[in-house]
Amino acid sequence: MKTKPVFLQILTGLSVVLFLVAAYLAIFWAPTEATMGDVQRVFYFHVSVGWVGAIGYLLAVIAGIAYLRTGNSKWDIIGVAGVEVGLVFAFLNIVTGSIWAKPTWNTWWTWDIRLTTATISELVYIAYMMLRQGIEDPERRARIGAIYAIVGFISVPLSFLSIRIWETIHPVVVEAEGMNMTADMKVAFFFSLATFTIIGATLLWHRIRVGQLAEKVEQLKMKLYE
Amino acid sequence: MLFLRVLQEAPPETMDYMILGYAVIFVVMGIYIFSLFSRRRKLLRDLQSLEEME
């Protein structure tokens, strides 16, 4: 396996530095929100991890379409990487939302439309991983995985738009009139968003490399045991 | 009256939940990064063994 590309090494280092800066901005620098107190600071990372989760799932859709068109296994590797990273970050989005909810809504959970659709989306992609585990033939696994990832993505924009379509108690931060944040909060928010985009891309790249290595091992095993 | 108004305007004490939220993020991301590292290390070992057998 080739050594880590220089650009990936740079991205990895940058991700660590940006993560620490984003954490400082969110936890210490941004002003304290008047009605919720410090728990509001969870919002900066809560939205950012949700964003990365959605990007991961979108990448799986793009990779799925590319696989169905070309049959090239590299797209299957990318698709799985997208779903896996998406699952981790979408999970963080749900859990941090729950932690924020406890002091704010006085409950860890409620079947609000946003929370419900986000959970459905997470379960859809957990099922994707389980489905893949049950299929031995690599080509069939990739093909079914691609179709599932494409169809399953319907749950993602549904969750995002849910708070605008249906009645909800989930905060709506971005409105037609603008964002319900002070200027300093916007700095912390957009910095977190940019940071996690870079972190997501870095982790995806690392995960894709693991997938490529796994494929190489699998191919060598098949060749040796034929 | 002003003192009471100031008290009413102080934000609620919710730092513990903030700490919990960030702790979960750090821990889960740490676990995932470690899992990537572990899987890669195992695959490299497998690859080396298979290449020696080849």
The answer to whether A87 contacts chain B (CB < 8 Å) is no
Tell the residue number behind the tokens 């100031």, with chain if given: B6
The pLDDT score that the predictor gives to residue B8 is 59
Nearest CA-CA distance, residue B51 and chain A, Å: 8
The complex's ipTM? 0.92
The pLDDT score that the predictor gives to residue A163 is 85
Chain B residues within 8 Å of chain A (Cβ atoms): 9, 11-15, 17-18, 20-22, 24-25, 28-29, 32-33, 36, 39-40, 43-44, 46-47, 50-51, 53-54
Whether this model's pTM surpasses 0.80:
yes
Long-range contacts of B41-44 (CB under 8 A, 24+ apart): B43/A210, B43/A213, B43/A214, B43/A217, B44/A1, B44/A213
Please state, in angstroms and rounded to a whole number, the distance separating the CA atoms of residues A175 and A33.
Answer: 18
Identity of the amino acid at A47: V
Please state, in angstroms and rounded to a whole number, the distance separating the CA atoms of residues A200 and A51.
Answer: 9
pLDDT at A177 over 80: no
Nearest Cα residue to A172 out of A160, A184, A188, A187: A160
CB–CB of A99 and B28 under 8 A?
Answer: no
Please state, in angstroms and rounded to a whole number, the distance separating the CA atoms of residues A176 and A125.
Answer: 32
pLDDT digits (tens, 9 = 90+) for A84-99: 999 999 999 999 999 9
The pLDDT score that the predictor gives to residue B30 is 97
pLDDT at A186 over 90: yes
The answer to whether A95 contacts chain B (CB < 8 Å) is yes
Nearest CA-CA distance, residue B54 and chain A, Å: 7
Determine the residue among B13, B17, B37 to mutate to test chain A binding: the one whose Cβ has the most chain A Cβ atoms within 10 Å.
B17
The pLDDT score that the predictor gives to residue A31 is 93
The pLDDT score that the predictor gives to residue A17 is 98
CB–CB of B13 and A37 under 8 A?
Answer: yes
Please state, in angstroms and rounded to a whole number, the distance separating the CA atoms of residues A48 and A53.
Answer: 9
Greatest alpha-carbon pair distance for chain A in Å reads: 68
Exposed / middle / buried, residue A54 (Cβ in 10 Å: 0-12, 13-18, 19+): buried
